[in-house]
Amino acid sequence: MSRLDETFRRLRARGERALVPYFTAGDPSLADTRRLVVEAAHRGADVVELGVPFSDPLADGPVVQRAGTRALAAGASVPRVLETVAALRAETDVPLVLLTYYNPVLAFGLKAFARTSVDAGVDGAIVVDMPPEESEPLASEAAAAGLDLVYMAAPTSTPPRVRLIAKKSRGFIYAVSLTGVTGERQELPADMATQIGAIRRVTTMPVCVGFGISTPGQVAAVGRVADGAIVGSAIVRLVEARAGSPSLVDDVGKFIAELKAPLREPLATSAVRARR
Amino acid sequence: MTRALPDARGHFGRFGGRFVPETLMAPLIELEQAWAAAKRDRKFQRRLADLLRDYAGRPTPLYFAERLSEQCGGARIYLKREDLCHTGAHKINNVLGQALLAERMGKRRVIAETGAGQHGVATATAAALLGLECEVYMGAEDVERQALNVFRMRLLGARVISVESGSRTLKDAINEALRDWVTNVRTTYYLLGSALGPHPYPMMVRDLHSVIGREARRQARAVLRRLPDVLVACVGGGSNAIGLFHRFIGDRRVRIVGVEPGGEGISTGRHGASMSAGAVGVLHGCMSYLLQSDDGQIATAHSISAGLDYPGVGPEHAYYRDLGRFEFVSVTDAEALEGFEALTRLEGIMPALESAHAVAYAMKLAKTLPRTKAIVIGLSGRGDKDVHVVAKALGKQIG
């Protein structure tokens, strides 16, 4: 059983849902990323997503795009992020999932990426522009190395596609809440519960929801229907605002604690029963 | 061999495919099915054929450039005159087909990316013709250097969105168009303008431009009473080139040469020659040759011609390059300017700077071949839009 599986099993047993914060690795520096991840784990992050920047992030909105540009300027790359993860493993055992695009992975080498990631202490990877149909070359290397590949399910995914995604995904399923790019939104999509319900019907695998989730209130709403909430742009924007400030790590830590709070309240509702 | 590609998943050998976020997968499958149905629909095909003839001005002539050939003193040079198409470039062939498809699919809003502005103008034109809402993404740098086309698009009723991210050129315009499409995919048709992107775009764009090669083949048979010896076309994304080349792929005796933008020279690093200096990678939904760093970050291309200023190339070109069927060469900015001046002075035909790359290489090649040989250049567009760029490069003032 992988560290991701254990984490979600433990949370389920406690009636908790996961908080999954996202950081762009290398923003503002890889050393800061290291401190931020340790602090996030300390303040209640259950899984941490680390973005490996790509020059052409077509699924990302302006906030994560800007972070990627800063991270590339700071020298972030697949090998440097993996070094950072290896160093992090001396300080935390929080599950770590890399989030990136196919080209940097391909350039590093599919086999090398899978093996080096696992050796460094990475638990999973999400390759945004690699749908199940194109996944075989990397998936076979990931399976051999013991790296969990997480796939995204979108509001446009048809039922057969959701089944395919559920079959291929390891660790959890990343439910993209909306049709659009990453970034904060005022409201959660009205049909989110329906979408999660459609995924639940074909799998018992944990479902985490991301895209457009930025406030404790929105996290609480996600927590009522899903196993976890992924928060990206709101955290990245805070990192951007506090970069260079001595309070960076503490301010981000406080925000993460606020986001986690509503997910600690045990659920005795239909959502829990639906998972059984 | 040419009929079977791409395969059911959009692969040309190891190239092509569909490397996109999950949100776009179902819409791309829907698009693929809609295109297959439209191809079988006689009414759709007749309407497209009528528009290509009466509106776009097809067939375009195959013109013997006698004075240019004499000047080179070797092979005879023929021009496939796509510059005579409505809106001034081959782009209209693809746009009319896809705009009709958008209408058939019930999408009333179309978006497009554009580099030189030719595809944007063609899309805005088709949108005006069919009464569709149109928004065009264009890199901020291209907005500056192609101001004439920006104004043309606005006159046609399109909204032009200047893209400030990344290298502020075609690559970034495609990123922004894809972000728009991910957001508005249920109501919007993405009218992609080159033979790249996720399946089915490379196939669909090729299908729609292959009229160029079908005509050229028929015309060559009538004029030369045989097939040409060499085909030469410029390659940015590669839409005009695949259009000219595709029908000839099975004709083993016909040499096929794609001309890439050599910019300031391959050795300077400031160029757009992804075949000559790139490596296999994934960008904008497909696997192909790309200009990129060792870490897999996409490099910035450079060319005097905005339409060739792209760090990748269509996947079908990559496939036939690896197979040895297509050759790829590069021509520098300076050589392209010489090609531009030669064709203008000797034939009274002012080519687009993109097409001038093909002219420049064909002139070099003609000198090495005997008079019995025939070269066909894909003259993809006319040069009016580039006059100010040429003036600047020659150190001259307009007016």
* Min Cα–Cα distance to chain B from A113, Å: 12
pLDDT at A273 over 50: no
Instruction: With CB atoms and an 8 Å threshold, state whether A103 touches B282.
Output: yes
pLDDT at A13 over 60: yes
Chain A interface disruption, residue of B24, B185, B282, B300, most A CBs within 10 A:
B282
Chain A: residue whose CA lies nearest to B300 = A55
A187 is catalytic: no
pLDDT score recorded for residue B166: 84
A60 is catalytic: yes
Tokens 């010896």 belong to B229
Q: How far is CA B38 from CA A138, B45, B262, in A?
A: 35, 7, 39
Which domain CATH number covers A144?
3.20.20.70
* Min Cα–Cα distance to chain A from B248, Å: 30
Share above pLDDT 90 across residues of chain A, in percent, rounded to a whole number: 95
Q: Per-residue b/e over B241-266, b at no fewer than 16 CB within 10 Å?
A: bbbbbbbbbeeeebbbbbbbbbbeee
pTM of the entire structure? 0.96
- Whether A72 and chain B come into contact, CB under 8 Å, resolves to yes
Instruction: With CB atoms and an 8 Å threshold, state whether B179 touches A133.
Output: no
CA angle B171, B20, B45 (to 5 degrees): 85
Confidence of residue A268 (pLDDT cuts 50, 70, 90): low
Q: Which amino acids of B are annotated catalytic? A: 91, 113, 380
- Whether A59 and chain B come into contact, CB under 8 Å, resolves to yes
Confidence of residue B144 (pLDDT cuts 50, 70, 90): confident
* Min Cα–Cα distance to chain A from B212, Å: 32
Mean pLDDT of B70-77: 98
Q: What string of H, E and C letters represents the secondary structure of A24-50?
A: ECCCCCHHHHHHHHHHHHHCCCCCEEE
Give the pLDDT confidence of A210-221 residue by residue, as tens digits.
999 999 999 999
Instruction: With CB atoms and an 8 Å threshold, state whether A105 touches B296.
Output: yes
Chain B interface disruption, residue of A179, A207, A233, most B CBs within 10 A:
A179
pLDDT score recorded for residue A57: 97
Higher pLDDT, A265 or A228: A228
Mean pLDDT of B39-56: 98
Supply the ipTM of this predicted assembly.
0.95
Q: Based on the structure, what is the number of domains in chain A?
A: 1
Mean pLDDT of B110-136: 97
Q: Which among A102, A153, A161 is the nearest to B19, CB-wise?
A: A102
* Min Cα–Cα distance to chain B from A4, Å: 22
Instruction: With CB atoms and an 8 Å threshold, state whether B20 touches A56.
Output: no
pLDDT at B313 over 70: yes
Mean pLDDT of A80-98: 98
Confidence of residue B3 (pLDDT cuts 50, 70, 90): low
State which residues form the domain around A127.
3-274
- Whether A126 and chain B come into contact, CB under 8 Å, resolves to no
**What does pLDDT average to over chain B?**
96
Instruction: With CB atoms and an 8 Å threshold, state whether A131 touches B20.
Output: yes
Instruction: With CB atoms and an 8 Å threshold, state whether A156 touches B294.
Output: no
Q: Label residue A89 exposed, middle or buried (CB < 10 Å: 0-12, 13-18, 19+).
A: middle
Instruction: With CB atoms and an 8 Å threshold, state whether A133 touches B27.
Output: no
Q: Per-residue b/e over A224-259, b at no fewer than 16 CB within 10 Å?
A: ebbbbbbbbbbbbbbbbebeeeeebbebbbebbbeb
d(Cα B183, Cα A128) in Å, to the nearest integer? 15
Confidence of residue A23 (pLDDT cuts 50, 70, 90): very high
Instruction: With CB atoms and an 8 Å threshold, state whether B281 touches A103.
Output: yes
pLDDT score recorded for residue B133: 98
Residues of chain A positioned with their CB less than 8 A from the CB of B295: 77-79, 104, 107-108
Q: Label residue A212 exposed, middle or buried (CB < 10 Å: 0-12, 13-18, 19+).
A: buried
pLDDT score recorded for residue B399: 73
Q: What letter represents residue A48's amino acid? A: V
pLDDT score recorded for residue B2: 46
* Min Cα–Cα distance to chain A from B266, Å: 22
- The one catalytic residue in A16, A32, A39, A49 is A49
SS3 B145: helix
CA Rg, chain A, in Å?
17
